[in-house]
A and B are shown apart, each in its own frame.
Chain A
Amino acid sequence: MNWPAIRAVMAKDLTAVRRSKAVVLPMLLVPVLLLVVLPLVIGIAARSQDHFDLSRFLDNIPGDLARPILALPQREQLIVLVNGYLLAPLFLIVPLMVSAVLAADAFAGEKERKTLESLLHLPLADRDLFVAKLLTAYVPALLVSWIGFVCFAIVSNTVAWPVMHRIFIPTKLWGVMIFWVAPAVAALGLSVMVRVSARARTSQEANQLGGAVILPLIFLAVGQATGLLLVDIKIAISIGALIWVIALWLCSRGARRFTRDQLATRL
């Protein structure tokens, strides 16, 4: 591996991305809404109301999961339910979206900007270029997710302190989400975009083609919100493992097709 060259490609791509509002804004807006604004609103709502009647919702979810929440004082139930359980699958949108947007820019964006040919004429091995492009999308996706989670934990605990009187985030479920499922989901978004970008001519086209990857997460979030599928630690670990398998399989197939000849053929 030619690490100096890989770092050079990453630095170039990330500098360029930083200067593109169309790429940066959605990447920041979604994490801010999900991980700062939403817990803030929930915390404020919980503080301003004496109690929320969650009994109808909690009746619909499996007893093993409902019981610990029902055991809490009524004022704490809303905060623990939303910030501790319901937001967890929604949080996965962040690594997925960031990795997918950056991967589309890194792979299909080179074609769109007509910079791919000059890149292919540089002395950079196919494998090094592929790794550089993967890392350009993957590393920021993880960083945004983890930094976003730290912000989420600070906001949630701070706003809910008058109600909770203790630090309740991170939970074990959040730990699994952050360190196991989120990296897998980032890899999934990335690997889907690698495949899609091979055919797409622009990053917008790649985003449209690859957008379907977000559907399973929406099902997961809806399942969580309706009590059809409530993600506990075991389920989260299983889901993470499944996503890792799919992402690695897609990535390895993408790597096989990522050759100069294939890329130049589609110029």
Chain B
Amino acid sequence: MSAVIEAIGLTRSFATGVALDGLTLDVQPGEVLALLGPNGAGKTTTVRLLNGVLLADSGEARVLGLDPRTDGDEIRRRTGVLTENAGLDERLTARENLLFAARIRGLSSSHAQQRVDELLGRFGMFDRANDQVQGFSTGQRKRLGLARALLHDPEVLFLDEPTSGLDPAATRDVVELIGSLATEHGRTVIVCTHFLSEAGRLAHRMAVLHRGRLQAFGRPDELAATLWDGLEADVDTGAPVDDRTLALLHDVDGVTTAVASASGAHLRVRDRDALAVVVATLVGREVPVYSAIPHTPTLEDVYFAIEEKFT
């Protein structure tokens, strides 16, 4: 299946310097990609370039098979974007903001009304529909911004900090919504976020940008394998292991390091098979083993390890 988004060597500079330097990546249909990096890393520039809002100095991109340089309007017709600040007109009501976007997107008047009502209800904003946005909280604005991005049922969704300012319940709802858009509706989603736990729950792959350069791109487990040898694990023996047991652990094939911990030992092993050998060895020496838990690095672990490499 061909990629929904392809970028090859995408580069853009401003008077202040290079904002994006040779970005090459692809996003597959139905995939959720987390675009990560500190402020000024080039995430927003990437979204703008892929939507044809900014033009690349060099490099190429294809979004839904279209070139953002020449087919920007057609791309924007088929994508939805939630910008970091929702970008709503404060002097208009919630409904007027959505109806405006619907009219620009060419929805008929009756379809627009119906769709706006549906989305206002879905995002719990129906009772504020006729209030001016200037009195809204950050969370309400964000929900309204999301509703606007989904008005035309876009094939690709770009979400810049979709959950910042949301309370925990609203955050959970938005995360579930993004997940369902990808899994149930086959939409492709690019999420720029600082909230790594959400990115970890949602994203199939992650792209880490730092000062405009792509530092890492892939599945978190793939990237973890390039960063660390083996995996960490905790073995619970009910009490800190003694020196004799520690020496025994060191002798097991596949154990890289072993140190005593409050409830047993903390190990780094080559892989999960090595951990099984550790358990068998301890049980064979009549050391009680209550649990042996391998710790697969999370997206957050991977991100910080990558960040550490480049700062």
Say yes or no: A260 contacts B52, CB within 8 Å: yes
Do A121 and B96 touch (CB < 8 A)?
Answer: no
Q: Which residues of the other chain, B, contact A11 by a CB distance below 8 angstroms?
A: 100
Q: Which residues of A contact B89 (CB under 8 A)?
A: 12, 16, 113, 115
Interface check A48, CB cutoff 8 A = no
CA–CA, A29 and B216, complex, Å:
60
Nearest CB in chain A: distance from B294 CB, A: 43
Complex contact B101–A122 (CB within 8 A)? yes
How many angstroms between the C-alpha atoms of A265 and B16 in the bound complex?
A: 11
Alpha-carbon distance between A16 and B148 when the two chains are bound, in angstroms:
18
CB distance from B99 to the nearest CB of A (A): 9
Q: Does B9 contact A (CB under 8 A)?
A: no
Q: Which of A5, A16, A113, A261 has the most CB of B within 10 A?
A: A261
Tell me if B87 and A118 are in contact (CB < 8 A).
yes
Q: Is the CB of B100 within 8 A of A12?
A: yes
- Beta-carbon contacts of B46-61 to A below 8 Å, as 1s and 0s? 0010011111000000
Chain A positions within 8 Å of B48 at CB level: 264
**Which residue on chain B has the smallest CB distance to residue A12?**
B100
Residues of B within 8 A of A216 (CB): none
A16 touches B92 (CB 8 A): yes
Question: What residues on B are CB-neighbors of A114 within 8 Å?
Answer: 85, 87
Give the Cβ gap from B69 to chain A, nearest Cβ, in Å.
10
User: A16-B89, A124-B73 known; 7 other A-B pairs, CB under 8 Å?
Assistant: A5-B103, A12-B92, A15-B91, A15-B96, A123-B73, A260-B52, A265-B14
Within 8 A of A (CB), among B55-85: 55, 72-74, 76-77, 81, 83, 85
Is A4 positioned at the interface, with any CB of B under 8 Å from its CB? yes
Q: Are B14 and A113 in contact (CB under 8 A)?
A: no
In the bound complex, residues from chain A placing their C-beta under 8 Å from that of B85 are 114
**Complex Cα distance A264/B100, Å?**
21
Bound CA–CA A19/B48 (angstroms): 31
Give Cα A114 to B104, complex, Å.
19
Number of interface residues of A (CB under 8 A): 28
Q: Which residue of A lies closest to B100 (CB)?
A: A12
Residues of A near any B CB (own CB < 8 A): 4-5, 8-9, 11-12, 15-17, 19-20, 113-125, 260-261, 264-265
Please state if B91 and A16 are interface contacts (CB–CB under 8 Å). Answer: yes
Q: Which residue of chain A lies nearest to B52 when distances are taken between CB atoms in the complex?
A: A260
Residues B96 and A12 in contact, CB atoms below 8 Å apart: yes
Q: Residues of B with Cβ closer than 8 Å to A? A: 14, 48, 51-55, 72-74, 76-77, 81, 83, 85-92, 96, 100-101, 103-106, 132, 145, 148
Q: Which residue from chain A places its CB closest to the CB of B101 in the assembled complex?
A: A122
Q: Is the CB of A119 within 8 A of B87?
A: yes
Q: For the complex, what is the distance from the CA of A11 to the CA of B109, rounded to whole Å?
A: 14
- B86 — which chain A residues lie within 8 A by C-beta? 118
Task: Kindly report which residue of chain B lies nearest to residue A20, judged by CB atoms.
Answer: B91
Given A8-B104, A122-B76, A261-B55: A115 in contact with B14 (beta carbons within 8 A): no
The complex places the Cα of A19 from the Cα of B53 at a distance, in Å, of: 30
Q: How close is A201's CB to chain B, nearest CB, in angstroms?
A: 15
A115–B53 Cα gap in the complex (Å)? Answer: 14
Whether the pair B104, A9 counts as a contact (CB closer than 8 A) is yes
Query: Which 5 A-B pairs have CB atoms at the shortest separation, nearest pair first?
Result: A118-B87, A8-B103, A16-B91, A123-B77, A121-B81
12 contacts between A and B (CB under 8 A): A5-B103, A12-B96, A15-B91, A115-B88, A121-B53, A122-B101, A123-B74, A123-B77, A125-B73, A260-B52, A261-B55, A264-B53
> B residues within 8 A CB of A19?
91, 132
Contact B105 A123 (CB under 8 A): yes
Residues of A within 8 A of B105 (CB): 122-123
Residues on B with C-beta less than 8 A from A116 are: 87
A14 CB to nearest chain B CB (Å): 11
B15 (CB) vs chain A CBs: closest residue = A265
Once the chains bind, are A124 and B104 in contact (CB under 8 Å)?
Answer: yes
Q: B106, A4: Cβ atoms under 8 Å?
A: yes
CA distance A121 to B159 in the complex (A): 12
Give every chain B residue within 8 A of A118 (Cβ-Cβ). 81, 83, 86-88, 145, 148
Residues of B within 8 A of A5 (CB): 103-104, 106
Shortest C-beta distance, A16 to chain B (Å), equals 4
A residues in contact with B54, CB < 8 Å: 260-261, 264-265
Taken together as a complex, chains A and B put the C-alpha atoms of A19 and B92 apart, in Å, by 8
A229 to B247, CA, bound (A): 105
The answer, among A16, A113, A123, A260, for a CB contact under 8 Å with B104, is: A123
With a cutoff of 8 Å between Cβ atoms, the chain B residues found around residue A119 in the complex are 87
Which residues of chain A are near B148, meaning CB under 8 Å? Answer: 118
Least CB distance, A107 to chain B, in whole angstroms: 14
Contacts of B14 in A (CB 8 A): 265
Are A120 and B53 closer than 8 Å at their CB atoms? yes
| Distance A41 CA – B96 CA, assembled complex (angstroms) | 43
In the complex, A124→B55 CA distance in Å?
Answer: 16
CA distance A261 to B72 in the complex (A): 11
